[in-house]
Amino acid sequence: FWTYCCINCIHILPELKKLEHAYPKELVVIGVHSAKFDTEKDSQNIADAILRYEIEHPVVNDAGHDVWNTFGVNSWPTVLLIDPQGNAIWGRSGEITFDDVNEILKVAIPYYREQGLLDETPIKFDLLADRQTPTPLRYPGKVLADEASDRLFITDSNHNRIVITKLDGTLLDTIGSGAIGQADGGYAEASFDHPQGLALHGSTLYVADTENHLLRKVDLEAKQVTTIAGVGSQGRSAWPGAEELTRLDDLPDRWVGPPKTTPINSPWALYVHQDALYIAMAGPHQIWKMPLDESEIGPYAGNGRVDIVDGPLLPCEPYRLGFSSFAQPSGLTSDGEWLYVADSEGSSIRAVPFDPAGEVRT
């Protein structure tokens, strides 16, 4: 059960794909799209989401939440495992991993096979993606215009690359091979995974490599791509180093870590201000900050709770109430005094002060 605006739903799609490929005969994945917003009830919009997220299993448009209510679901995402007799034998709300479900399947599949109940005939169906014609861009996520250099930078997200054109659209260059990967190197060798946000500082282009959970920088003069933050897998904590703490008394003064060894979670938008890179970290529902000298990285605003709450920037104690909360921040811009945030799932615009003593406002 999912809805296409939800970052947690987006996060489990690669895990479901791993399960589909691991059990092509024994397991059938069916997506039940139970919309959060009215526009998400439209079948064409859902079809676009299927293409954008490269989903390879059937999806039901549960616009009226009929299936949702039948199974007593109350949050996105929820995963249920249904046995060959139609009984729900396992379920979980929130993000799941391949291993979570695999542990159940390793027991369930032999059991139902022994009972003679498991039909292992693969289900064949045409993919919507197979009926699409090639296009120069594929679901571009973000654009950045630089009037001074007459350049437009485009994250061609579903082609896993960055396209550089003149402001009139004339193609200048392409960054990335187009293959999904994490390779650094020259433009032709480098690889990305559905990049989104961009920020330009001098001759350096910063890239939110969203589905790699990485930050990359591009030297536009040397034409080289380098990874500067993240470990290449999804960070599970909104607080660098929190998993290593054993006592509440050990709370650090500042939640920061070394960029290249600190896991991050779905960076979606970027903005450079006064020698610092600000990151809309959609996964943990926070704004993060990294100095351009790449000395540290960590949360700048948001207590990690999914909500629209104004107030002081950041608590010392993880998830503490009384501090600002965001809901899947996905866009950033600034007037020099405030960092403005498109807080996507909360359908709101937030203002974050560059003064750490200030407060977030909606």
Verify that 75 and 212 share a domain, yes or no: no
**Number of domains the chain is built from:** 2
Verify that 239 and 333 share a domain, yes or no: yes
Kindly report, residue by residue over 106-158, the tens digit of the pLDDT: 999 999 999 999 999 988 888 888 888 999 999 999 999 999 999 999 999 99
Closest CA to 164 of 107, 214, 218, 245: 218
Domain that holds residue 84: 7-131
What are the angstrom distances between the C-alpha of 219 and each of 69, 247, 310? 52, 43, 37
pLDDT tens for each residue of the chain, 362 residues long: 999 999 999 999 999 999 999 999 999 999 999 999 999 999 999 999 999 999 999 999 999 999 999 999 999 999 999 999 999 999 999 999 999 999 999 999 999 999 999 999 988 888 888 888 999 999 999 999 999 999 999 999 999 999 999 999 999 999 999 999 999 999 999 999 999 999 999 999 999 999 999 999 999 999 999 999 999 999 988 888 776 655 555 677 778 999 999 999 999 999 999 999 999 999 999 999 999 999 999 999 999 999 999 999 999 888 999 999 999 999 999 999 999 999 999 999 999 999 999 999 99
Torsion angle of alpha carbons 51, 154, 296, 303, nearest 10°? Answer: -50
Is 307 inside a domain boundary? yes
Verify that 354 and 230 share a domain, yes or no: yes
Verify that 172 and 310 share a domain, yes or no: yes
Threshold 0.85, pTM exceeds? yes
Is 137 inside a domain boundary? no
Looking at the DSSP bridge assignments, the partners of residue 342 are 331, 349
Is 1 inside a domain boundary? no
Verify that 230 and 355 share a domain, yes or no: yes
Verify that 122 and 151 share a domain, yes or no: no
Kindly report, residue by residue over 40-90, the tens digit of the pLDDT: 999 999 999 999 999 999 999 999 999 999 999 999 999 999 999 999 999
What's the CATH number where 204 sits?
Answer: 2.120.10.30
Verify that 76 and 120 share a domain, yes or no: yes
Verify that 184 and 108 share a domain, yes or no: no
Closest CA to 196 of 214, 220, 223, 170: 214
- The two structure tokens encoding residue 334: 């600034």
**Measured in whole angstroms, how far is the alpha carbon of residue 104 from the centre of its chain?**
26
